[in-house]
Structure 1
Amino acid sequence: MASEETTVEASGRELRITSPDKVFFKTRGETKLDLVHYYQAVEEPILAALGGRPTLMQRFPDGAHGKSFFQKRVGAGAPDWLQQTEVATPNGTTSNALVIADLAHLLWAVNMGCLGFHPWPFMADDPEVTDELRIDLDPGPGVTFDMVRETAYEVKALFDGEGITSFVKTSGSKGLHIFVRLRPDWNGYGVRSAAVAVARELERRRPDLITAQWWKEDRGTRVFVDYNQNAPHKTVFGTWCVRPRVGGQVSCPIPWDEVATVEIDDLTLANVPAKIAAEGNPWAAMNDAPQSIDTLIDWYDRDLDDGMMDAPWPPQYPKMPNEPPRVSASRAKKEP
């Protein structure tokens, strides 16, 4: 008979885990309790990456194979010890978001059926400072993962050339994410400007492989560098977190030399803890040396001086200064 609940220890607290035997990942049959044990096993590296950050929750009450919904607000009935902070949407709507203050906070969310953790790129205690540049390599139709690998190395070469240390992880789905830990000198608008500059420079260097074009019709069969993942208030899928896929794939940091051989689907909650134990955390040094992106912002300003406009913003954002028309070229031709 299935257990109705159990308790686990985390961060000096006893946490109640309901329906611990509920299957969350059908491929191998891992349960809610297996997911709890995974996060206990990766406590140190995941808190180094997510600790102190407000986090958007994506809940799957019936497991990765079921329906889901996003939850920005913690909601009524949360325990008194749960840390929360106010975050805002692009239109100014506010909500109280979960802060991943320690492992207990993360496991509380897992017990609520959270299989998607999407952290903001700032600390809850300093929301005006964005401390991560996130380069999302988005493979569209016809783009192979080998093309994504090649693009990742182009990103690394660009950063290396400017003395910027970068770190790579699998998305847990189809692409790769490249992160740079930043000095506390920029807000989200400045970091997005740096990302726009990176995308445009990469497109200049490898127009056959890489695109900075926002409109899908303009990308061709190229890897899109999604600069708008750095727009203020945007989130990306959390480092070391298990994706809501039936195979339980992990968004897993890897050494740069592993990019050439990694297979995203092979990194799961079943084997990532052993990988960390054997190889260590490839992002262990990330927080030790925050980086400057002054050069990248200079590139952005140079492009503006040369007559370029800002790149298009996502549709849910207010119209921004110096933004081009928020419509694709083909649609603009059809409009009177």
Structure 2
Amino acid sequence: MPPVTNVAGRRLALSNLEKALYPDGTTKGELLHYYATCAPVLLPHLAGRPLSFLRYPDGARGETFFAKNVPPGTPEWVTVAEVPRTRRMTGRQVVLDDLPSLMWAANLVTELHVPQWRADAPGRADRLVLDLDPGAPAGVAQCCAVARWLRERLADDGLEAWPKTSGGKGLHLMVALEPTPSETVSAYAKRLAARAERELPELALHRMDRGLRPGKVFIDHSQNNAAKTTAAPYTARARSAPTVSAPLTWEEVAAGERGARLDFRITDVLERVERHGDLCAPLLAPEHAHRLPTAA
């Protein structure tokens, strides 16, 4: 029987704590420790949002699978929301709004992905996201250059962007919005990405044709679609190392453009939270919620 732990009054059976999940030997127990310690800054970015799972129970080198439905065996005390899947169909998804629920999900060994809207307002986005994905030989430096350009254009429209790593090779830019129909946000993001391709033709790309990607940064605007999700701030990723989608300062983005590394692991992020707090906290503050330009 796996050991049973009391987490804020809930009894959880946490299994296979010594199992290595990453090639560097990082264990499941270490991953769960990360989530428990990071919970104060992670949970606010998950609260109220229907969760999608990208599970890797056999480790980062094993099989992964993506699921939105409530997993079998979900405890009755985990919050579940009914959300639209199509115009005629709904589904049930988990909402992580407290520490026991987070630790239950972490025990499944999963990346945490959320939409840009909350379960009580489906299809009304309170965030805009741009996912910058480099095609080799482009890398993080080119992503940082595109991020700087996008930040300036967003600022021209009265929008403030907050950067984080994707946990992989790229970056995410996020903007807090007053609730706005997802299709409106998607249209704005697509126009901005297309403008980047026009003005930075040797660097940026907004079209999804993979044959065009080598040496350029693909600006994935599609994650603003109501049906899409994005890796949440602070989620660990199923990569070759225990990397995290880590919030950044714009000074770090500038350093990345000059060649600094911007890949952070679970141990790095805990130290960063102690030093900086939550660098993405403004995304949660009502005073930072922007209205898209009228022209959008």
With normalisation by structure 2, the TM-score equals 0.91
Distance 1:93 1:209, change over 3 A: same
Whether the 8 Å contact between 1:6 and 1:20 is mirrored in structure 2 is: no
Which structure is larger by alpha-carbon Rg, 1 or 2? 1
Corresponding residue for 1:156? Answer: 151
Q: Any stretches of 5+ residues in structure 1 without a counterpart?
A: 300-336
SS at match of 2:281: coil
CA deviation profile, 1:28-68 (whole Å, cap 9, x unmatched):
x2222211110111112111212221111122221222112
Tell whether 2:268 aligns with 1:271. Answer: yes
1:41-120 equivalent positions in 2, closer than 5 A: 41-89=37-85, 94-114=90-110, 116-120=111-115
Q: Counterpart amino acid of 1:51?
A: A
Report runs of 4+ in structure 1 exceeding 6 Å deviation: none
| Contact 1:8 1:14 (C-alpha < 8 Å) held by counterparts | yes
Cα distance between partner residues in 2 of 1:236 and 1:202? 21
Instruction: Report how far residue 217 of structure 1 moved.
Output: 3.4
Secondary structure of 1:15's counterpart equals: strand
Match of 2:291 in 1: 292
Offset, 1:147: 1.0
Distance 2:240 2:201 in 1: 36
Is 1:123 aligned to residue 123 of structure 2?
no
Cα distance per residue 1:269-325 (max 9 Å; x no partner): 122101110222211222222111125xx25xxxxxxxxxxxxxxxxxxxxxxxxxx
Q: What is the percent sequence identity of the aligned residues?
A: 32
Question: What code does the residue aligned with 1:22 have?
Answer: K
- C-alpha root-mean-square deviation of aligned residues, in Å? 2.0
Q: Deviations over 1:124-145 (max 9, x none)?
A: 1221321110001111233232
SS at 2:164's partner residue? strand
Greater relative contact order (Cα < 8 A, sep 6+): 2
CA deviation after TM superposition for structure 1 residue 90, in Å: 5.4
TM-score (norm 1): 0.80
Deviations 1:84-130 (A, max 9, x none): 1223445865431111122222211121232x111111111221321
CA distance in 2, matches of 1:151, 1:51: 30
Aligned to 1:17: 14
Helix, strand or coil at the partner of 1:86: strand
Once the two structures are superposed, residues 218-277 of structure 1 have per-residue CA deviations (whole angstroms, 9 ceiling, x without a partner) of 456321211112122101112100001241000100111101235243x11122101110
Aligned counterparts of 2:72 and 2:274: Cα–Cα separation in 1 = 38
* Matches of 1:248 and 1:292, distance apart in 2: 36
Distance in 2 between the 1:134 and 1:226 partners? 9
* Residue in 2 that maps onto 1:187: 181
- How many residues matched? 290
Distance in 1 of aligned mates of 2:75 and 2:166: 31
